[in-house]
Every structure is written in structure tokens, then in C-alpha cells.
Amino acid sequence: MTQRKTQKAKAQPAESGVKVAPAVAGGLVATEPQMIPLNKLALSPKNVRKTQATEAEDAELYASIKETGLKQNLLVHKVGAKFHVHAGGRRLAALNKLVEDKVIKPGHPIPCSVEDPDQAEDTSAAENMIRSAMHAADQFEAFATLRAKGRTEDQIARQFGITTDLVRRRLKLASVASELMQNFREGDISLDCVMAFTLTDDHARQIEAWEAVKQHYNPSPHSIRHHLTQKSYSGSSKLARFVGIDDYKSAGGTVIEDLFAERDAMHLEDPDLLEKLAQAKLDGLAAEAAKTWKWAEAHLETDYDSFRAYGRVYPQPLDPDPKLAAEKLKLEERQDTLESDYDEETWTEELQKEEEQIWSRLREIEEIEAANVAHTDADYKIAGCVVTISHNGEPRLETGLVRPEDIPVEEDNKDASVENEDRENNDNTTRCGPTIELPQAMRRPDIPVDPTTAARKAQGIPQALADDLRASRHQILQAHLAADYGTAYDAMLYTMARNVFGRGGMASPLDVSLRPAMTMGSREILKETVAQRMLEAIQEGLNLTWLEAKAPEDFALLTQLPEAEKQALFAWCAAYALNQQLSNDSSASAVIEAIGTRLEVDVAACWRPNSENYWIRVKKDHAIETAKSLIDERWADDKSGLRKAEIAKAMEQAFTENPQETAGLTAGSAAKTSRWLPDGMAFGETDEATSQDDAPSAQQTSAGHEPDSLPAFMENAA
């Protein structure tokens, strides 16, 4: 205390009466604040902060001072009759605004610490630079503490000059489990992930979700939200739109709202209730449809295979409208006249306009004619319909379905020669009553057996296994194509150009309508694969925020995306429409094979034949012969006496990524078996390479990788 008095005595000029803190190097100086009228304070040019804060930041400071007062003294130095503020300029501006708003008077006393002018720059720099921003987690907890003390959300918002909605979001973030918040503080969880956890207030569910997703490649807010809502329906799902949120709530359903999600912000927590309401609504529509058709059923979900068991009757063209036909003929005659009399020198804007109007009207008439179809009474007597829900939540009727038992049977006494002729000309339709396209199971394919089919039959590869191999190969190629804009662009351009310029007639590598290419294989064999993880990682990185806007704003937002984000979207869409095949399919597209070769797709690094997905499903002889050619005859002979399941397990161990460890093979044999693929799976094969003896070396060469390597962009996902 004695030392402080001595310093103060030395620092105080006798003539001014103002207490000034002296500059003391290496020491701590304590000065008592002095109350100085606000109208005697001005911003000092010695204040080092030149860049203005944002309006929002200034508004928060203003609200805080207005609500709770000035919590920190201003640092000033005396200049004539005024005091210049060299630390606290934003506080000074907020105080002056309070005067403008008539909250305080111009002479309101303000606590200030008076310093020597020579200290001004040093103090100003220290105050503005030597500071640490408050961690976001501390902000959330601070708001929660104020709420616990009885402050309302509106009061907290006024105190800090922010919106009530922002307060509500920060309070929601404070409800996240303390364990997860600590991970956030330590940098193990991003703020976006913390936001995703707020979908539920149940800390146990939050922690369970984190434990589930943190093992995955690159845990994301999307994966957290998916885990927390996998037993619920999104508010934008087709089922929710079909039933209606209000009707769901009226029936007692509960919803949770995601305060931070840009899309799918609402989730319906009672899936059973939602499905029950949707089914009841569909049943009502089916009952109405049954008044017209022989039968009607209501299905919540349908897919491509749902209607394969049915035959089909299609609506037939009705008699054309005579007036419309006459109008069409007259327009076509006038169009021919304009074309034959065309002369560039005499052609006028009026004639051009007339020609365009004729063309537009002819298209309208063609659309009317195409829609002028209807089912016959005979169709209604044998066919039915399925009522389901479209992707946009609207009811959809799949009409003209004929059950196998309702298909008319031909008369026994029908002339045999006529019957044979009909069979040759119209094998997949009925030959009595209404024309019915037969169900898939009742059709008789007249396709000659090709060498590939014969080879598969010899190996015991059933159609279901071929479909699974094809689907696995397709998924792997999709994952590569979706990550390569250059190849995707060339493939899409090639396909569009062939269609636009009339050079069709060959199998197209892409479905230019951008429908998802039909996947014939089992859905289960495509789960938990390297290719699936790659596709998920790519999809999570796509920028889809522009989809939230309505047309044409969504197009404008899309055009403003960075080029890299546009390219990622383009490649994803191209891969989405990619058709599937094995390279030795009878109708295989050479262009798809060229795409896979250009991408250097290493199928062997992404898929290995194991007991379940291959060996148990083929002939025992095929497995033994493959082992003889790739390992040795002794190894194969030792296994030949085993049961098929045991042989399949042994083959799985011998054909893994590291068969030296799993099956004890030599390095030479392991190099072959670790890269072996069934015929048609690899990309870049030559004709000779499709044989079993040559397949391993050919695949190693075409892939361009060592046996244990992956494409660079797939290493993290493997």
C-alpha cells in the first residue's frame, strides 16, 4: 500500500488534478478509476484498432451495456480539456448511441483509467491483441446458466443484442451430453456434429449415436442425423407428404425439429402411426378404384420387381376427333406450302411467326392424339390396379395388371398350324381375348445359347449369381466414375451426341434420361463394401443446398457454384445412370469397358470371391479346377474329397487379399489367387485373358497396380 501511494504521488500533476498512472516497465500498476463525464470523452487517434467491427457485433455490445451496464473501464489520456480514449473505442461508440437513444444523458459519468499519453499505443495494442476468444462450448453453457437463473429467452436476447431464435439455438446446443461437449472442446467433434446431436435431448442416445458413427470413415453430421432418425420419417419423405403433417399430429403423432438442418428439419417419431395412416388412406383409394377394375390393392412401397408377376393390358387408341384431324391436315398442308415456297429474299417475320405457330400447334395435336387412349370393358373385367405412393408423395395408380390366374386359356380345339404360327409371331402375348402382355415368368425366350452362357452353365454359375457379380462390378465402377469428372464428362457427352445426331443403334453406356440404372443383383451383396463406402463419402461431399430454392432461383444458384462442385455433381449424375454389365455378357457395351479401363478400375482390390458370394454357389468341379490351375494339383486333390461347404471355406481362405497368411500358400500361388476374378468381372481383359489360366496375370497387367494396392483416392475408404 505504501508503494502504491508513492507512485500515485509522483504521477499526479499538481496543476491538473487528474490522477495519471505512470509508465513502469516490468511492474504492475494499479490506479483507481475516475468518473469522467461522457461528453468529455473522444476517440483517440492513438487507438490501434482501425478496422470496424460488424454491425451485429456492435449491436451485441450495445445491448449488453444497455442491459447490464459498463463492465470494463475505458483507458484514456488527457488532451487539453478532453480525454482521448485509446482503449475502449467500441464501448465509447455504444455509450454515445445510448445518448442518441435518450437512454443516458450526455454528461453521464463513465469510469475511466487515466494513463500517460506515452502509454496509449502500448496499452491499446495490448488490449486488442493479447486476448483469447471464448470457446463456443463455454458460450452455450453461459447461456444455459443464465436460463437456469430465471432469465427468459427474450431477456437473454436483449442483453446480448441477438435474436431470440439464436438464443434458442445456443440453449439447444447446451443440452448436448457433457462427454460430447468435452470432445468438442478438445477438437474431436466439429460444431456441425454438435448441432446434429440436438435432434434429441436423450444423452444416452446422443452418446450411442457417436459411438456408432465415430468408427466410420469421416464421421459427419449427416451420419449422426441418420443414426438418430433411422427409426423415424423425414417431414419431406413421400409418406409424410402423402399423409400430411397436420393429419399425423391430429392422430397423436409427435415430431422433432432440427434447428440447424437446412433440409429435412422435421422428423416424425412414430413410424408405425404414419404407416398406418398412409395405408388407411391408400385402402380408401383402392376401394374406389375397385369400382372400375376387377380388383385393386394398396401397397405402401413398390419397386421394379413388384409388377413382374403380372401380365399387362394397355389402353388402346380411340377414334380420332374429326375436327382435330381436319385441323391437323390443314396445318400440314400449309406447312408444306411454306417449305416449298421458301425464299430467303421474300421471307418475312410474319411468315416466320406463322411457321412457328403451326409447328407449336402440330405438337399440341400430337400430344392430344397420344393421350386419346382408353382401356376397354374387356380389360376392366380381367385386369386390376395397384394403388401406391409416388416419390413426391402423390397417389399413383399402376393399372392394367393381370394376375396369371386371370389370363384367358386358349381353346383346346384351336388349329395346331395357326397356333404354331401365332407362337412364332407373338410368343409373349395371349392369343385369345384382350391382348395381354404375359408375365415375365410365362414368357418363352427364343434366344440361342451363347458361349458365355454355356461357360457359366459348365461352371455352375446360376443366373442369380451372375446378377450379383454384375451388380458388384457395377457398384465398383460407379464409385470410380463418380469421382472422375473427366471420364464422366466424356461418357455423358458421347452418349448424348450419339442420340442427338442420330447415330443410335448400339447399346448406350449411360441412360441419358438419368434414371437409376436397374440393379439386378441382390441388395445385400452391395452392403458394407469398399465401393459403397466410396459412394457414401462422395455423396456426403456434394453441394445440394441449391435444391432448396424454387425454379428458376435454383438454376441461378447452381450456376454460381464453384467449378469443382459442379464437376462433382456432374460426375455423380453420370455414375448414377451408369448401366451394369459383365464384360462377357452377350450384349455388353464396349464403351462401358473402355470407361472402366480408362479409370483403371481395380475390381480385385474392391471385391474378393468368398464362401457366401461365390464358392458355395458354383459347382464343386469349377472350384477344384480353378484351384488346380492357380495353386497346384496336390492342394486341389486334398480338398476334392471334402463337402461343398468345406471346399467353399477353403477357397475363400485361398482367394483373400493375403492368402499366404490365411491359407499358407506360396508367394507365387498367392500372387495369382489374391488377384483372381470370375470371368467378366475385371476391366481391360483381352479375349485370351478371360480364360481361367490367363486371367490372373491379365488382370494384374490391365489394372496397373501391384496386388496389394488401391487407387489413390480409395485408400482412405478401404
Query: Distance of CA 16 to CAs 11, 395, 666, Å?
Result: 11, 87, 97
Q: Is the residue at 182 inside a domain? A: yes
Q: Are residues 467 and 596 in the same domain?
A: yes
Q: Which residues contact 520 (CB under 8 A, 6 or more apart)?
A: 467, 470, 471, 580
Mean pLDDT of all residues in the chain? 77
C-alpha cell at 463: 443366373
Q: Is the residue at 678 inside a domain? A: no
Q: Are residues 86 and 148 in the same domain?
A: no
Across the range 353-361, mean pLDDT stands at 90
Residue 181 or 409, more confident: 181
Q: Are residues 580 and 489 in the same domain?
A: yes
Q: Are residues 247 and 165 in the same domain?
A: yes
Across the range 472-480, mean pLDDT stands at 89
2 pLDDT band, cuts 50/70/90, is very low
Q: Is the residue at 711 inside a domain? A: no
With a cut of 60, say whether residue 194 has pLDDT above it. yes
pLDDT of residue 673: 95
With a cut of 70, say whether residue 413 has pLDDT above it. no
Q: Are residues 362 and 483 in the same domain?
A: no
Across the range 235-240, mean pLDDT stands at 82
Q: Are 596 and 669 in contact (CB under 8 A)?
A: no
Q: Is the residue at 488 inside a domain? A: yes
170 pLDDT band, cuts 50/70/90, is confident
3-state helix, strand, coil in the chain (%, to 5): 50, 10, 40
Q: Are residues 103 and 221 in the same domain?
A: no
127 pLDDT band, cuts 50/70/90, is confident
With a cut of 60, say whether residue 352 has pLDDT above it. yes
Q: Tell me, what CATH number does 103's domain have?
A: 3.90.1530.10
Q: Is the residue at 187 inside a domain? A: yes
pTM for the whole structure: 0.37
Q: Is the residue at 608 inside a domain? A: no
pLDDT of residue 489: 83
> Over the stretch 34-87, which tens digit does the pLDDT of each residue have?
899 999 999 988 886 766 777 777 777 787 788 777 878 899 999 888 999 988
pLDDT of residue 83: 93
With a cut of 90, say whether residue 288 has pLDDT above it. yes
> Over the stretch 425-471, which tens digit does the pLDDT of each residue have?
445 666 556 788 888 667 665 556 678 888 888 888 888 888 888 88
With a cut of 80, say whether residue 568 has pLDDT above it. yes
Share of the chain above pLDDT 70, in %: 76
Q: Are 62 and 98 in contact (CB under 8 A)?
A: yes
566 pLDDT band, cuts 50/70/90, is confident
pLDDT of residue 655: 95
Strands 384-389 and 373-374: what pairing? Answer: unpaired
Residue 171 or 260, more confident: 171
Q: Are residues 89 and 181 in the same domain?
A: no
- Residue 248 DSSP SS3: helix
pLDDT of residue 304: 65
Q: Determine the distance from the C-alpha atom of residue 232 to the mean position of all C-alpha atoms in its chain, rounded to a whole number.
A: 18
| Lowest mean per-residue pLDDT among 67-81, 157-171, 287-301, 451-465 | 157-171
Q: Which of 448, 411, 443, 440 is nearest to 427 (CA)?
A: 443
pLDDT of residue 355: 87
Q: Are residues 220 and 169 in the same domain?
A: yes
Q: Are residues 485 and 564 in the same domain?
A: yes
Q: Which residues contact 99 (CB under 8 A, 6 or more apart)?
A: 38, 105, 106, 108
Q: Are residues 109 and 211 in the same domain?
A: no
Q: Are residues 467 and 598 in the same domain?
A: yes
With a cut of 50, say whether residue 13 has pLDDT above it. no
DSSP E strands, 54-166:
74-79, 82-87, 109-114
With a cut of 70, say whether residue 572 has pLDDT above it. yes
| Lowest mean per-residue pLDDT among 223-237, 443-457, 577-591, 687-701 | 687-701
Q: Which of 65, 79, 75 is nearest to 31 (CA)?
A: 75
Please identify, among 545, 570, 602, the residue that sits at the C-terminal boundary of a domain.
Answer: 602
pLDDT of residue 603: 94
DSSP E strands, 150-285:
233-234, 255-257, 266-268
Across the range 128-157, mean pLDDT stands at 70
With a cut of 70, say whether residue 414 has pLDDT above it. no
Across the range 399-406, mean pLDDT stands at 90
pLDDT of residue 259: 56
**How many C-beta neighbours within 10 Å does residue 603 have?**
25
pLDDT of residue 260: 56
With a cut of 90, say whether residue 507 has pLDDT above it. no
Residue 199 or 262, more confident: 199
298 pLDDT band, cuts 50/70/90, is very high
Q: Are 110 and 34 in contact (CB under 8 A)?
A: no
Would you call the peptide bond into 696 cis, given omega within 30 degrees of 0 as the criterion? Answer: no
| Lowest mean per-residue pLDDT among 95-99, 102-106, 119-123, 620-624 | 119-123
Please identify, among 558, 577, 602, the residue that sits at the C-terminal boundary of a domain.
Answer: 602
pLDDT of residue 415: 46
Q: Are residues 166 and 233 in the same domain?
A: yes
Q: Tell me, what CATH number does 231's domain have?
A: 1.10.10
Domain count, the chain: 4
Residue 87 or 266, more confident: 87
pLDDT of residue 449: 65
pLDDT of residue 41: 93
Please identify, among 211, 245, 271, the residue that sits at the C-terminal boundary of a domain.
Answer: 271
Q: Is the residue at 267 inside a domain? A: yes
Q: Is the residue at 32 inside a domain? A: yes
| Lowest mean per-residue pLDDT among 8-12, 240-244, 281-285, 341-345 | 8-12
Residue 2 or 628, more confident: 628
| Lowest mean per-residue pLDDT among 5-19, 194-208, 513-527, 677-691 | 5-19
Length of the chain: 718
Where would I find the H helices in 116-163?
120-129, 136-148, 153-160
Residue 267 or 708, more confident: 267
With a cut of 60, say whether residue 25 has pLDDT above it. no
Share of the chain above pLDDT 90, in %: 22
C-alpha distance across the termini of the chain, in Å: 69
pLDDT of residue 17: 47
Give the range of the structural domain holding residue 516, as residue numbers without chain letter: 463-602
pLDDT of residue 631: 94
C-alpha cell at 536: 457414401
